[in-house]
Amino acid sequence: MKAVLDADEASELLRASIAGELPDERGRFGPFGGRYIPETLVPAFELLERGIREYLPSDEFQQEYRTQLRDWVGRPTALTFAARLSERWGTKVWLKREDLAHTGAHKINNAIGQALLARKLGARRVIAETGAGQHGVASAAACARVGLPCRVYMGVVDMQRQAPNVDRMHRLGAEVFPVESGDKTLRAAIDEALREWVSDPAGIYYLLGSAVGAHPYPYLVRELQSVIGTEARQQMQDLAGGLPDVAFACVGGGSNAIGLFYPLLGDSDIELIGVEAGGTGEGLGQNAATLATGTPGVLQGCYSIILQDENGNIQETHSISAGLDYSGVGPEHALLQALGRVSYVTASDDEALEALQELCETEGILTALETAHAYAAAKRWSRDNPGKRILIGNSGRGDKDLPTLARYAARTNANAAA
């Protein structure tokens, strides 16, 4: 565990988590969360928090949001039984198909909800950040849908390895701003977006893509993404004849995973397993396994578990998947790990690539490299749990990763020839 909680405190926090009482009024998930921001951004965050309290639970907003999810996003997304994969693994594998949502990933659930909220709050324009590009594409599409201009910040490293999504953002009317500072990936993109927000907090709405950052973003993103788990829970009962024994989801910042896990927290018989990027090794800089190897600290407005050296310097990360390549994780995941309600494991670059190929060959599904990490861990789990029922959050499709896969294959062939 990454936080020391006594038994009574842990029991109360687990009860509060299941009951939907967290975050508390300070934006805390137990010891994690909160709001660590520049003074210039305090009015913008207070406006956002008031807007969430006023609009998010209202019948008018919920009706508009649900209508967009149904008629534009294409929800509910399918629950697919992976028959051939199940035969190979010796378990019963069910897939929650967020790859079938409009724009190809779970990110659209959050993007359209926040775009609607931005319009309610009177924003003149929207900014967003992206790593794998799926949140950028979703933000561009959602802003086009509600009629707001959009700028997306993206590290130049991610722009190179996610070129198809960069083109999609441009075609959807967004400006893509290349970030060349810092590690040139997701963390640097978030930093740059925050600097832009400071310049005009009244006119800009920052559409944050994951369950990270200062309060109220982890709460807001969780609420908008929990449609995944709510649908999956009912679909498992209707189609599979009962709830799963275990649910797997990949974890970077954590929006896909918290969206799947949150509605299942109260089902104590369901084991919940988040899968981080194990990269190429266990050393700092070789992976993005925050919960497996990180320590408590503050990153980009939030107290959570982060990757840092002994001096508190934020550590650069590595993952073959751009969307998992982040130095922190959402505060609710940090709490759920501390409570022992969710287990967090890793899968390496090579394991993810093997899992992606196996899914292609057995089920005809090209999944995202991020999601492939969850498949790799689920396969390992299956070896010791024959006959069990597995639910995997298939968070996105893998079209965006074809350039990365081609480069990896070229390097592998070159090494083999040598």
Q: Does residue 268 sit within a domain? A: yes
Confidence at residue 323, expressed as pLDDT on a 0 to 100 scale: 87
Do 295 and 155 share a domain, yes or no?
Answer: no
Do 146 and 282 share a domain, yes or no?
Answer: no
Q: Distance between the two ends of the chain, CA-based, in angstroms?
A: 44
Out of 107, 120, 379, 400, the active site residue is 107
CA 211 to chain centre: 7
Tell me, what CATH number does 253's domain have?
3.40.50.1100
Q: Does residue 2 sit within a domain? A: no
Do 299 and 159 share a domain, yes or no?
Answer: no
Do 273 and 164 share a domain, yes or no?
Answer: no
Q: Among residues 222, 255, 273, which one ends one of the domains?
A: 222
Do 351 and 278 share a domain, yes or no?
Answer: yes
The number of folded domains in the chain is 2
Out of 17, 332, 395, 400, the active site residue is 395
Q: Does residue 5 sit within a domain? A: no
Do 293 and 390 share a domain, yes or no?
Answer: yes
Out of 64, 129, 271, 358, the active site residue is 129
Q: Does residue 12 sit within a domain? A: no
Q: Among residues 162, 194, 222, which one ends one of the domains?
A: 222
Cβ 206 vs Cβ 111: under 8 Å: no
Q: Does residue 8 sit within a domain? A: no
Confidence at residue 325, expressed as pLDDT on a 0 to 100 scale: 86
Q: Which residues form the domain of 196?
A: 23-69+107-222
Do 275 and 330 share a domain, yes or no?
Answer: yes
Confidence at residue 322, expressed as pLDDT on a 0 to 100 scale: 84
Do 63 and 210 share a domain, yes or no?
Answer: yes
How confident is the model over 95-138, as pLDDT tens digits? 999 999 999 999 999 999 999 999 999 999 999 999 878 999 99
Q: Does residue 352 sit within a domain? A: yes
Confidence at residue 1, expressed as pLDDT on a 0 to 100 scale: 38
Do 266 and 244 share a domain, yes or no?
Answer: yes
DSSP reduced 3-state for 96: strand
Q: Does residue 11 sit within a domain? A: no
107 flagged as catalytic = yes
244-278 burial, b for 16+ CB within 10 Å, e for fewer?
bbbbbbbbbbbbbbbbbbbbbbeeeebbbbbbbbb
Confidence at residue 417, expressed as pLDDT on a 0 to 100 scale: 61
Q: CA 49 to CA 44: how far, in whole Å?
A: 9
Do 145 and 249 share a domain, yes or no?
Answer: no
CA neighbor of 192 nearest in space, from 147, 153, 161: 153
Do 267 and 410 share a domain, yes or no?
Answer: yes
Q: Among residues 222, 238, 271, which one ends one of the domains?
A: 222
Strand partners, 328: 306
Q: CA 395 to CA 109: how far, in whole Å?
A: 11
DSSP reduced 3-state for 308: strand
Q: Does residue 65 sit within a domain? A: yes
Confidence at residue 208, expressed as pLDDT on a 0 to 100 scale: 96
CA neighbor of 397 nearest in space, from 116, 78, 170, 179: 78
Residues of the chain below pLDDT 70? 1-4, 412-418
Q: How many helices (H) and strands (E) does the chain have?
A: 17, 14
Do 230 and 272 share a domain, yes or no?
Answer: yes
Q: CA 13 to CA 340: how far, in whole Å?
A: 11
